[in-house]
Amino acid sequence: MPLKKKPAPVPWDINVGDDNYLKEPWILKKGKEFITIETDRHNKGNFYLQKDDEKRLSISALQAKMTYHQLIEFGYKLQKPRRKKIRTQAISNE
């Protein structure tokens, strides 16, 4: 009998300060394709979903959660923000 794994939490359910916290918008990428998920500021509880440069769709929280998990199963990866490079200056002791 296969064990059912508990699905990973979606990025918008993770709080500030948690290890896996990512700021909005959340971008899922696979090859050259990318899908952006962000909250709808006018309709609380709803989300916007947009693939590449196509039309943006308004979806419910449940639809967003299910879509996110399906995209992960299809091989999309959640893109993490790039870290800023810190330049160090050479200090000479002359």
What are the tens digits of pLDDT across the range 38-66? 998 888 889 999 999 999 999 999 999 99
pTM: 0.75
Would residue 89 count as lying in a domain? Answer: no
The chain-wide mean pLDDT, for the chain, equals 82
Would residue 50 count as lying in a domain? Answer: yes
Would residue 55 count as lying in a domain? Answer: yes
Would residue 65 count as lying in a domain? Answer: yes
Would residue 54 count as lying in a domain? Answer: yes
Residue 17 has pLDDT above 60, yes or no: yes
Q: How large is the average pLDDT for residues 81-91?
A: 57
Domains in the chain, number: 1
Domain that holds residue 66: 36-78
Would residue 62 count as lying in a domain? Answer: yes
Would residue 27 count as lying in a domain? Answer: no
For residue 47 the two structure tokens come to: 């989300």
What residue ranges in the chain does DSSP mark as E strands? Answer: 26-30, 33-39, 46-51, 57-60, 77-78
Would residue 90 count as lying in a domain? Answer: no
